């Protein structure tokens, strides 16, 4: 299927899910929920989302060992650029964009950076379970939610330990060997990153609580349910930015926790707008700072996926990343 076919399929899926989400709802009730929404809580949620991005950038630097060329401001801009890629590209192409930009600044092989990013994902999974364990001590939660979160956390811890203890002597193709090396080195630095990840998930929990508070529906159960649903949807978004998928999934989960369907859908739409808005605006600024345009994101992702650069890509400075040289022309190191 060509690019245009994938775009049309994604749009059709968005429309179908959107129609399903609102088919049984009273549009007037949804409008009333938005009319009584407290905007300051939405702005506070956006600030908390930016704080979570700041922690994510620090976590990436820790996992990579703070390599030369990757200052904290640079890591933050790369994290924001990845967020914009999530908004505009399907699946998890944002990870490929981040790997390319990190490799361009540091000279690290992109496969090695992707190995470290894989450990980051495992730490996120473990951190989510940690947040639920703390939340269970503070507020009663449904038993299924607690058991599911602890199981997710256990899987994440097992993945992190597996990366840290992986054998360095395995005979693998060069690309896989670099990825394994990146995962093994990042696994050895996982403890510090794990605490950062736990703090990040805590802030995200507060962000969802603030979103619910904007609709006068704040409580621990729905906020943590939104966190789990968001984690699941964005783990592998079916459409760019999970458009259509996110509101339908999160609204269904919130309604299942006892919220009125109209309020649940309103909260889901508001949460999606905050997530896409903060990451999108910050990502656009970051790309402009790096001398890139939004249309370059797909080329960056393709370069990290191992596609040979086209003449147009070379004209924009995209080449094969190597340990010895940066791959982005005009790149700064601050």
**Full DSSP string of 46-106:** HHHHHHHHHHHHHHHHHHHT--TT--HHHHHHHHHHHHHHHHHSSTTHHHHHHHHHHHHHH
CA-to-CA separations, 83 to 19, 53, 64, 155, in angstroms, rounded = 27, 9, 19, 25
Beta-carbon contacts of residue 261 (< 8 Å; ≥ 6 apart): 24, 25, 251, 255
How many percent of the chain have pLDDT more than 90?
21
- The verdict on residue 322 lying in a domain is no
Of residues 153 and 108, more confidence is placed in: 108
Of residues 14 and 261, more confidence is placed in: 261
Q: Using the predicted structure, report yes or no on whether residue 334 has a pLDDT greater than 80.
A: no
User: What is the band of 171 on the pLDDT scale with cuts at 50, 70, 90?
Assistant: very low
What mean pLDDT value characterizes the chain? Answer: 76
- The verdict on residue 313 lying in a domain is no
The span from the CA of 282 to the CA of 276, in Å, is: 10
CA dihedral 272, 160, 300, 287 (to 10 degrees): 50
Most confident region among 44-53, 107-116, 259-268 by mean pLDDT: 44-53
Q: In this structure, are residues 128 and 201 in contact, taking their beta carbons and an 8 Å threshold?
A: yes
Domain that holds residue 160: 3-307
Number of domains in the chain: 1
- The verdict on residue 36 lying in a domain is yes
φ, ψ at 328 (rounded to 5°): -125, 115
- The verdict on residue 154 lying in a domain is yes
Q: What is the 3-state secondary structure (H, E, C) of 213-277?
A: HHCCCCCHHHHHHHHHHHHHHHHCCCCHHHCCHHHHHHHHHHHHCCCCHHHHHHHHHHHHHHHHH
User: What is the band of 77 on the pLDDT scale with cuts at 50, 70, 90?
Assistant: very high
- The verdict on residue 241 lying in a domain is yes
Q: Using the predicted structure, report yes or no on whether residue 204 has a pLDDT greater than 80.
A: yes
At 324, is the secondary structure helix, strand, or coil?
Answer: coil
Of residues 136 and 225, more confidence is placed in: 225
Q: In this structure, are residues 245 and 233 in contact, taking their beta carbons and an 8 Å threshold?
A: yes
- The verdict on residue 40 lying in a domain is yes
- The verdict on residue 320 lying in a domain is no
Q: Output the six-digit token pair for 285.
A: 């600024």
Of residues 130 and 100, more confidence is placed in: 100
The pLDDT tens digits of the residues spanning 173-187 come to 555 666 777 777 777
- The verdict on residue 330 lying in a domain is no
The pLDDT of 292-302, averaged and rounded, is 80
Determine the pLDDT at residue 59: 92
Beta-carbon contacts of residue 32 (< 8 Å; ≥ 6 apart): 262
Q: Which of 66, 177, 204, 189 is nearest to 120 (CA)?
A: 189
Q: DSSP for 97-151, please give it.
A: HHHHHHHHHH---HHHHHHHHHHHHHHHHHHHHHHHHHHHHHS---HHHHHHHHH
Determine the pLDDT at residue 312: 38
Beta-carbon contacts of residue 48 (< 8 Å; ≥ 6 apart): 203, 204, 206, 207, 210
């Amino acid at each position: 299927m060509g690019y245009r076919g994938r775009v049309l399929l994604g749009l059709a899926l968005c429309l179908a899910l959107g129609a399903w989400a609102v088919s049984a709802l009273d549009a007037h009730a949804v409008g009333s929920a938005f009319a009584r929404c407290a905007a300051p809580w939405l702005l506070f949620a956006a600030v908390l989302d930016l704080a979570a991005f700041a922690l994510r950038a620090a976590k990436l630097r820790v996992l990579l060992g703070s390599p030369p060329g990757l200052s904290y401001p640079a890591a933050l801009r790369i994290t924001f650029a990845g967020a914009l890629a999530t908004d505009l590209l399907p699946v998890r192409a944002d990870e490929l964009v981040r790997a390319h930009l990190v490799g361009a600044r540091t000279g690290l092989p992109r496969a090695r950076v992707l190995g470290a990013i894989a450990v980051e994902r495992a730490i996120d999974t473990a951190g989510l379970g940690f947040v639920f364990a703390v939340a269970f001590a503070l507020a009663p939660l449904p038993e299924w939610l607690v058991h599911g979160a602890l199981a997710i956390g256990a899987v994440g811890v097992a993945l992190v330990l597996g990366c840290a203890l992986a054998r360095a002597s395995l005979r693998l193709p060069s690309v896989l060997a670099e990825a394994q090396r990146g995962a093994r080195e990042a696994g050895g630095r996982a403890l510090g990153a794990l605490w950062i990840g736990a703090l990040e998930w805590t802030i995200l929990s507060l962000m969802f609580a603030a979103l619910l508070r904007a609709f006068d529906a704040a409580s621990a159960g729905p906020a943590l349910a939104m966190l789990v649903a968001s984690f699941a949807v964005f783990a592998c978004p079916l459409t760019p930015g999970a458009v259509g998928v996110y509101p339908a999934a999160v609204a269904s989960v919130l309604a299942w926790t006892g919220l009125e369907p109209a309020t649940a859908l309103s909260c889901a739409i508001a949460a999606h707008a905050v997530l896409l808005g903060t990451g999108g605006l910050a990502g656009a600024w970051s790309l402009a700072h790096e001398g890139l345009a939004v249309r370059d994101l797909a080329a960056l992702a393709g370069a990290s996926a191992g596609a040979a650069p086209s003449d147009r890509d070379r004209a924009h400075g995209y080449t094969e990343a190597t340990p010895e040289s940066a791959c982005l022309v005009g790149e700064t190191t601050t």
